[in-house]
Copies of this chain bind each other. A is one copy, B any other.
């Protein structure tokens, strides 16, 4: 699912060659381990076995490295939204007919939802895959608190994502596919709280695959734990 190059884990023969993505992978891991503020370009150079100028060849500043990392998580999350999702200046989400039918179909007996509910299911499923595929990038995004312009821009993009998912829930409530006794904003926060919490315990290679985890999240969020 990802386009991360194998250079992310450089071999030990001689000085490893890092491309932009490999450098980013190491920077993200270091930001998570030590904290962004406590990590300097010199720290990264030391960790990478590169000169500072070699890093500056790829990124003009530490904040631009952070920005690129947050963009990677946000780009992937936004790609999970339906193609005709509402934009900042468009009311598309409240007009389900404006959406084309979901292009992606699942091979695992997806729930019989349709329209907005079906698109919501796709978004939740994709968001779990993004989280698992880019675990450190999403982890970093979730730690952002808005201390710099770069962080504030990332938080604004994240809020726009949340608004689009909320609009999808609202649309599915209007069409009668989802229950109407839950505030769509609260429902969105609770469901993405559930999804985001996966970064706390998920470890790649564990017994839980991204696919079954996505199934579990969709099942819980849409139909709940109670036996039918």
Copies in the complex: 2
What is the interface of chain A mostly: helix, strand, loop, or mixed? helix
A183 interface residue, CB < 8 Å from B? yes
Contact for A183 among B113, B176, B216, B221, CB less than 8 A: B216
A193 interface residue, CB < 8 Å from B? yes
Closest Cβ of chain B to A224, distance in Å, is: 3
In Å, the complex CA distance between A189 and B217 comes to 11
Report chain B residues within 8 Å CB of A186.
Answer: 208, 213, 216
Q: How many residues of A contact B (CB 8 A)?
A: 40
In Å, the complex CA distance between A192 and B228 comes to 22
Q: Closest B-chain residue to A221, C-beta based?
A: B225
Contact A182 to B225, CB < 8 A, known contacts A193-B193, A196-B193, A197-B190: yes
Closest Cβ of chain B to A105, distance in Å, is: 19
Report chain B residues within 8 Å CB of A88.
Answer: none
A187, B169: Cβ atoms under 8 Å? no
Report chain B residues within 8 Å CB of A219.
Answer: 179, 181-182, 224
A:186-208 near B, CB below 8 Å: 186-187, 189-198, 200-201, 208
Closest Cβ of chain B to A1, distance in Å, is: 21
Closest 3 pairs (CB-CB, A-B): A193-B197, A224-B224, A194-B194
- A: residues with CB less than 8 A from B are 111, 113, 117, 169, 176-183, 186-187, 189-198, 200-201, 208, 213, 216-217, 219-228
